[in-house]
Amino acid sequence: MSLEITSQAFSQDGSIPRRYTCDGQDASPPLQWSGVPQGTKSLALIVDDPDAPDPKAPKMTWVHWVLYNIPPTATGLPEGVKAKDLPEGTREGLNDWKRTGYGGPCPPIGRHRYFHKLYALDTVLPDLGKPTKAQLEKAMQGHILEQCELVGTYQRSR
């Protein structure tokens, strides 16, 4: 069985419901995963949008959520999870709003894609403080056993 991440809120390449965006409650969507490979010591989750600011002319990848050292026994995250309710040992990194926690889709123009990327690692990472996505990716190098992704889309109604 290979690593897989899903959500009860939206399907692969499906539309992310408004409640999980800046137009709604800005709550993190419920996420579930399965197929964590043997030898996994921790999991990491990065949610980002490669279509910023305009899908027709993307200039950057906007980071929405950074989590690491999620215990391999965890099978998901509940909707609207707060820092105090994350699985024990889970650490938070900085998103592109320069804060920890989830920041929902809030695209300025067009329909954007949001990649929910889950990584199974062969180590528990050292305390990285509040790493950026780039710092976390650097720390994960050489430790990724398997990875998977769930892509959702969102376009603001004007």
Mean pLDDT, the chain, as a whole number?
97
Which tens digit of pLDDT belongs to each residue from 20-66?
999 999 999 999 999 999 999 999 999 999 999 999 999 999 999 99
pTM: 0.97
Which tens digit of pLDDT belongs to each residue from 111-155?
999 999 999 999 999 999 999 999 999 999 999 999 999 999 999
User: What's the pLDDT score for residue 115?
Assistant: 98
Q: What is the mean pLDDT of residues 95-120?
A: 98
User: What's the pLDDT score for residue 1?
Assistant: 73
User: What's the pLDDT score for residue 157?
Assistant: 86
Enumerate domains of the chain plus CATH numbers: 4-154 (3.90.280.10)
**Which band of pLDDT confidence, cut at 50, 70 and 90, is reported for residue 102?**
very high
Asked whether the beta carbons of 31 and 76 are under 8 A apart, the reply is yes
